A = this chain, B = another copy of it.
Amino acid sequence: MLEFAILGLLHQAPMHGYELRKQLAQVLGGLRSISYGSLYPALKRLHAAGYVTTDEPDPRAPLPADAPPLTGRRGKVVYTITAEGKERFHELVGQSGPEAYDDGGLFGVRLAFFRHTAADVRLRILEGRRRTVERQREGLRASLSRTRERLDRYTLELQRHGLDSVDREVRWLAELIDRELTDGQPPRDGGADTGDPPAPPRP
């Protein structure tokens, strides 16, 4: 999941780890943040896989000691995405299977990079997510009506609130899907299931 998000951000511009973390927190929805304990190992993995490069200028460079007034520039490391990294990102961005929406966290990241995602893939992800959350909702409803009597007030309240949240998410997703359908092809008309979508986000 981090892999996708990092590649997505570096796809837009090279960045320091620190900046990356801030952007990440924003992309993730504001509340969910990413810790350095996840970020740096992830960057290391990406580096090892050849998806990013660093400008680390070899820490033990001789440095003839004749540029002391030169602006510090200590350990700052700028991470840049490579061609392989971009390829990998586009590969990931094209996935529309359950792995893209079964986990809410990954779905959030996918949504945040929807502008890089083809219209048909967007739709499949949104609908897959809706089905997943709907299933959750039904399970929750069933469990709640089954155990309503045996639960104390607080547990009941907890379940009620959970169900309410899930229900709201379903409605939200339905709204997104609706918007996707209505303003994705307002001027177009016949372009049905030819497998070749209007491909709107062509960077």
Contacts and interface: CB of A to CB of B under 8 A. Distances in A.
> How many copies are assembled?
2
A31 B31 CA distance: 19
A40 to B, nearest CB: 23
A92 interface: no
A152 B115 CA distance: 8
A111 B158 contact: yes
- Among A154, A201, A202, max chain B CB count under 10 A is at A154
B26 A143 contact: yes
Interface residues of A, number: 36
Given A26-B147, A29-B158, 20 more contacts: A26-B143, A27-B155, A29-B159, A30-B139, A30-B140, A30-B144, A30-B159, A31-B140, A31-B162, A108-B158, A111-B158, A112-B155, A114-B152, A114-B154, A115-B152, A115-B154, A152-B201, A153-B202, A157-B172, A157-B176
Interface of A: 26-27, 29-31, 108, 111-112, 114-115, 136, 139-140, 143-144, 147, 152-155, 157-159, 161-166, 168-169, 172, 176, 201-203
